Structure 1
């Protein structure tokens, strides 16, 4: 999942990949004791599981739908629509049995055919799914995603009957259950999708649920909408809240004031607000398995130069950015894979510690030398570049800091262009930018969930970068070395180091969002990978 949306709630963190359940002592109740009032820092863009490319959309889709598995407590996955699974001896064939009591919110049964159709839509390049790369180990997926083959029936997923789904892989994939939690692997109702046509997922009325909640009141552009308990959900009796009300708040002052006046139960804070809010008993901070980064379009002028990209990486003082711009709500980044995602089997140390390099350190002198070299090779004395970012307060503040850092390079002029998130994402995915400030939250707890973004031709490789050594390392981790934990991790470590040296993007920091969270709201499950919040057990006193 992509983007600079930094929502988070609150409790002490023991390990990053734990799943937390928020529960606190009671404080005076807000006006409506039944409705949980939530804020998001960017607009809802789509309810189409195959097209979700942002955190806000993925968050809502994860509550209105579900797949074969859901994320459970402590970072473990649990069966959802599936009730059992059998794997072949070679580990390449997985056969799932579905529950027989599954229904869509229109009353239709959820079947194995719905899973086949949903996965085929994700693999179809017409839908431009940013999560299609998660399917590359499925038989037939690569040719479908690339457009070499158009017959969706060649994808390695079949409905053996209404309640039996068979998945065929190219190589064994022990982490498949974690991968299948993602929204890209949700079922989709073919009759409903085809009737809605191009409107599918663009409004609440043009969306369909098989999960705990149903979306209400979203017309495709408004900033307030609700998740209402789904009476057709198979486990509806276990869903506690009747309604979770959402609203988009891009202005941090507005969010802060709404919280202070008791109109919302949750809001994120800016660096300035953190200084005054830290003493508030409802202040909470939570790390997430996310990397914030500055991506380059390597097809644009001087950015095609490795020397130029390395210079820009060296010149950014990331420690200062963490301390002063995000007020300590995060950690200085080294690898593209965040801290606490994985341990190196050989050493037992964190992946990020084992595979970090000096390429990501701050070195202004070296930066200037490399920059002069790049300018000379390009025949230019000065360069103008535009930095694209979202128009929320936090993103604009970070972009302005990066602008000041980059302009320490002689002859470089940077203009900041802030846009509403839908426009920014559209331009980003269309490679219509010089530099873009964005971020990535892993779909599951493994380096591949991050490093898969940068393989040649991947949808999220919007900077159009390609490196044969990188591709070879990732491929080895997914194929010949897939069952050898030590070799597989070494392959992924090599890929991350190639990324650090060739610099398709500058990793900036691993975020931890500062928030105000009403202690009257208990039972919200907070995940560090995938959709961050699960409201099924939430209660507001």
Structure 2
């Protein structure tokens, strides 16, 4: 295979280094992802790299199937009140932590309190604000958690009261932020509680080893309630940022599975698409550009609109990504639940972009300060960055410096608003437009743009209270138009297509799905 020979020549050093490494027992499944996880703490994970591991170690009331659907987990069943606002979860008998202690309803109460507490700093705390009183607790206006809508009736019965009927609450119950954590262990060890020697888990796997920038090793949890159906006894996860090296590991049998969309050598895309082990599937994900609206000149919406109107989205998907991605109109992708469709966004219009930039005081880019665009060290991200830099220079006459940052640093820069422009992406946590649109409300931990808009916040609040789906969708469209067109706080570029590298004749349990979630516990060798 010609392209493979070329690839192996390019990465011969990496293969030789791997071959010379000290021998150790090979894990049943070796998985490569593009970065080191930021954390394994369920309350603090906010990126897909970290979540893959955290969801293997911790399990909530529900869990996700290989098809991306929620199913009973720590809770074996639940009842819902007629008004759709009260859920009573009945926990499964015999579920335990890895220290032998039972998993109880009180564990959920304590864990959710921790996730919602303002001192924890959980980016996803806002996701739990559908619970009665949760928002007030996070904001500190209600300090008594006993007044929040989460109660343990007894050791195996958890009652959750919502602010409004929430059609996706069972999906949320499978989300990692709502998983229980060992609060006593956290109190004892502080931030070191996630180290292998200290961590206590309740999921399908145990954390056996974590060598930074080398490997993470998981071992099947024998006390897991569904252990009989977990077939991969050991999993090794290796962070590899270079796409050619990752693909070389796959071809030489040093890894079995790749799933990160960036782990695709752009020069080989067309060849790879022809291989039986190369799989793609659409999912609810959007690649977009965040804009720090607190930094001049991007505090002017006309400047933000000009930058958005100068981006040729079609050129990016046809020239660079090449997997059939659709140019994005809005932040919500096609196929999102409840029949929702994004309103028209800001498409390529160079003349209008130049007019707006001139109106903002920078005719033909004169006087425009040097600004920077942050990206992560993956080939496809570098190629997109170069293309964007060229587009903004050609259309607007402005200079945009490109700055590459490792994923952990890049995440930190976004959180601290230490950037001008920044590549970003979002994968839906559940199949509803709110999973994208709620992000940009004022104070949301995932906002990371500095943007705050009262009208937008009011739209999102009104949509949460609206039971009529068509009316709710209309409100969401008004919100999205405010975000993307009127204020241009973000620049949606394309809707994702998921990628998985695996040999289907050998490995099963990997299935493309709308939330791009692929639990290790579902995988097995044929």
Q: TM-score, normalised by structure 2?
A: 0.90
- Equivalent in the alignment of 2:223: 232
Match of 2:312 among 314, 317, 331: 317
Match of 2:82 among 79, 82, 89: 89
Contact 1:338 1:510 in 2 (8 A): yes
Counterpart Cα distance in 1 of 2:40 and 2:87: 28
2:234 aligned with 1:263, yes or no? no
| Counterpart among 347, 358, 372 of residue 386 in structure 1 | 372
Shift of residue 125, structure 1, vs aligned partner: 2.1
Once the two structures are TM-superposed, the CA of residue 309 in structure 1 deviates from its matched residue by 0.8
Q: For residues 272-351 of structure 1, what are the structure 2 equivalents within 5 Å?
A: 272-344=267-339, 351=340
| Whole-Å separation in 2 of the counterparts to 1:521 and 1:324 | 33
The aligned residue for residue 232 of structure 2 is 241
Out of 127, 130, 137, the position equivalent to 1:137 is: 130
Task: Report the Cα distance in structure 1 between the residues aligned to 2:69 and 2:278, rounded to whole angstroms.
Answer: 27
Question: Could you tell me whether the CA contact under 8 Å between 2:209 and 2:216 is conserved in 1?
Answer: yes
- State how far apart, in whole Å, the 2-side matches of 1:294 and 1:369 are: 21
* C-alpha separation in 2, matches of 1:138 and 1:531: 26
Question: Is 470-479 or 32-41 further displaced after alignment?
Answer: 32-41
Counterparts of 1:26-175 in structure 2, within 5 Å, are 35-72=28-65, 74-175=67-168
Distance 1:65 1:296 in 2: 34
* 1:509 counterpart = 2:494: yes
Match of 2:6 in 1: none
In the aligned structure 1, how far is the partner of 2:512 from the partner of 2:173?
Answer: 15
2:81–2:87 CA contact under 8 A, matched in 1: yes
Aligned to 2:463: 477
How many residue pairs get aligned? The number is 497
Q: Quick one: distance in 2 between partners of 1:223 and 1:374?
A: 48
Structure ranking higher on relative contact order (CA contacts 8 Å, 6+ apart): 1
Q: Which moved more, 1:74-83 or 1:98-107?
A: 74-83
Residue 316 of structure 1 deviates from its aligned partner by: 0.4
In structure 2, the partner of 1:519 is 504
Alpha-carbon contact 2:290-2:489 (below 8 Å) kept: yes
Given that residues 34 and 540 in structure 1 are in contact (C-alpha distance below 8 angstroms), is that contact kept between their aligned partners in structure 2?
no
TM-score (norm 1): 0.87
Deviation at 1:227, TM superposition (A): 2.0
CA distance in 1, matches of 2:110, 2:169: 19
- The answer on whether the counterparts of 1:523 and 1:535 sit within 8 Å (CA) in structure 2 is no
| Structure 2 match to 1:213 | 205
Q: Which residue of 1 aligns with 2:18?
A: none
* Separation (CA, whole Å) in 1 of partners of 2:376 and 2:396: 27
Give the Cα–Cα distance (whole angstroms) in 2 for the partners of residues 423 and 188 of structure 1: 26
Does the CA contact (< 8 Å) of 1:521 and 1:538 recur in 2?
A: no
Once the two structures are TM-superposed, the CA of residue 222 in structure 1 deviates from its matched residue by 3.2
Classify the secondary structure of the residue corresponding to 1:289.
Answer: strand
1:399 corresponds in structure 2 to 385
Deviation at 1:33, TM superposition (A): 9.0
Aligned to 2:478: 494
Question: Post-superposition shift, 1:337?
Answer: 0.7
Match of 2:443 among 444, 457, 468: 457
Aligned residues of 1:314 and 1:362 also touching (Cα < 8 A): yes
Q: Between 393-402 and 301-310, report the one with greater CA deviation.
A: 393-402
Structure 2 residue matching 1:536: 3-state secondary structure: helix
Q: Is the 8 A contact 1:212 1:233 kept in 2?
A: yes
Q: C-alpha offsets along residues 101-142 of structure 1, whole Å, 9 cap, x if unaligned?
A: 111112111111110111112112222212111111212211
Cα distance in 2 for partners of 1:226, 1:142 equals 37
Q: 1:293 to 1:237 in 2, by over 3 A?
A: same
Cα deviation, 1:134-162, whole Å, max 9, x if unaligned, reads 11121221122223344444432111111
Please say if 1:181 is aligned against 2:177: no
